[in-house]
Amino acid sequence: MDVLTELQYFFMLHNTIMSLISIIVPCYNEDEVLLPFVQEIAKVERALPSDSFEVIFVDDGSTDHTLKILREICAERSETRYLSFSRNFGKEAAMLAGLKEAQGDYAAVMDADLQDPPSLLPELLHAVREEGYDCAGTRRVTRKGEPVVRSLFAKMFYICINKISDTQIVDGARDYKLMGRPVIDAILSLNEYNRFSKGLNEWVGFRTKWVEFQNVERVAGETKWSFWKLFKYSAEGLLGFSTAPLSLASLLGLLFVVLSFIAIAFLVLRQLLWHQSVSGWTSMVCILIFFSGIQLLCTGIIGQYLAKTYTEVKRRPHYIIKESKSDSSR
């Protein structure tokens, strides 16, 4: 047996194949958490000695010391590198950039604040490598520590999107998901500008194992998602994965046309049979305001889809890279 075959035989015996695992970390003003994060990743690397790792940090236009710390971390550790955006393009853009950059057989996106526990990685890897799943996702089963209003709106969002969209989104699903190469390539083949990862991950299909965990609070720093940002993100999901709001607008239109025919017939008959004409402008004004409201609502819904189409057809890049590890020496 030559050396290569011997090695292959050894790994077959131990049911382990050496793989390259890419860890993608979007970072926006995370200077406080980067060092604890790197320490946690080092523990995972030690727990999986037969695999190799590449850690890709994506600095999403941070205004604190994130980039400076990333330069230092990457100078010290050969398996880490970074991309730095010219401005804040959002987490979706950062995840996309990381996935494009990833060379691994497997890739996982992980938040820098340790809310996506790196310690789950061996279990996720086991599911994909040995249990025959194409990817392994993580799901928060509690939202302890999160503001009540935020949890309530999140719950409503999941109920709503799963009712009106063909793409079913698992409640509490995180972006932290270990994906095999075919899944990564499938996601990268979706080129849309308005990205909603939770939906895209489901839309591509493949067999997913869900690993559940209790919510963990940030190690330091603050959430970067304001209520308004989250609201816009959920609208992105609803508009991107369902045309039901448009159907609702048409249905409302149809309903009121039928109602107005009934009302006209009633008024004409009342005049012919009992000689009673309609009086009072208050009711008239109320009806006018009501219908103007419905019309504006429907125009607004159509406008939202038009706006999304507008940003899609412009075909602007998802992000602009200002600096990366390879040119940090300049």
* Binding-site ranges for Mg ion (CB under 5 A): 111, 113, 115
Residue 296 buriedness (CB in 10 A; 0-12 / 13-18 / 19+): exposed
Site for ligand UDP in 205-244 (CB under 6 A): 223-225
Partner touching 224 among Mg ion, ligand UDP, none, CB below 5 to 8 Å by kind: ligand UDP
Give me the least distance between CB of 30 and ligand UDP, in Å please.
Answer: 5
Kindly write down the DSSP assignment for every residue of 265-324, as one continuous string: HHHHHHHHHH------HHHHHHHHHHHHHHHHHHHHHHHHHHHHHHHHHHT--S--EEEE
- Closest-approach residue to Mg ion (CB): 115
Q: What are phi and psi of 25, to 5 degrees?
A: -125, 100
- Kindly state the tokens that stand for 258: 């039928």
Partner touching 225 among Mg ion, ligand UDP, none, CB below 5 to 8 Å by kind: ligand UDP
Residue 114 makes contact with ligand UDP by CB under 6 A? no
Give me the least distance between CB of 37 and ligand UDP, in Å please.
Answer: 9
Nearest residue to 286 via CA among 294, 276, 297, 298: 294
Partner touching 88 among ligand UDP, Mg ion, none, CB below 5 to 8 Å by kind: ligand UDP
Nearest residue to 85 via CA among 69, 102, 104, 98: 98
Partner touching 250 among ligand UDP, Mg ion, none, CB below 5 to 8 Å by kind: none
Q: What are phi and psi of 118, to 5 degrees?
A: -60, -25
Give me the least distance between CB of 216 and ligand UDP, in Å please.
Answer: 10
Among 28, 53, 82, 319, binds ligand UDP (CB under 6 A): 28
Partner touching 91 among ligand UDP, Mg ion, none, CB below 5 to 8 Å by kind: ligand UDP
Q: Are 51 and 20 in contact (CB under 8 A)?
A: yes
Residue 115 makes contact with ligand UDP by CB under 6 A? yes
- Kindly state the tokens that stand for 158: 């999941």
Point out which span in 73-81, 96-104, 109-117, 246-254 binds ligand UDP (CB under 6 A).
Answer: 109-117
- Give the up-direction half-sphere exposure of residue 123: CA atoms within 13 A in the CB hemisphere: 13
Nearer to Mg ion, 151 or 304 (CB): 151
Instruction: Return the H-helix or E-strand segment holding 38.
Output: helix 34-47
Among 24, 70, 73, 94, binds ligand UDP (CB under 6 A): 94
Partner touching 32 among Mg ion, ligand UDP, none, CB below 5 to 8 Å by kind: none
What does the angle CA 216 – CA 217 – CA 221 come to, to the nearest 5 degrees? 145
Partner touching 276 among ligand UDP, Mg ion, none, CB below 5 to 8 Å by kind: none
Residue 60 makes contact with ligand UDP by CB under 6 A? yes
Residue 27 makes contact with ligand UDP by CB under 6 A? yes
Give me the least distance between CB of 140 and ligand UDP, in Å please.
Answer: 10
Site size with ligand UDP, rule: CB under 6 A: 16
Partner touching 239 among ligand UDP, Mg ion, none, CB below 5 to 8 Å by kind: none
Strand residue runs (E) in 121-180: 135-140, 173-180
Residue 91 makes contact with ligand UDP by CB under 6 A? yes
Residue 202's contacts (CB-CB under 8 Å, 6 or more residues apart) are: 167, 168, 169, 170
- Kindly state the tokens that stand for 325: 């590890």
Residue 117 makes contact with ligand UDP by CB under 6 A? no
Sign of CA dihedral 147, 151, 154, 156: negative
Q: Report the interface residues with ligand UDP, using CB under 6 A.
A: 26-28, 30, 60, 88, 90-91, 94, 111-113, 115, 223-225
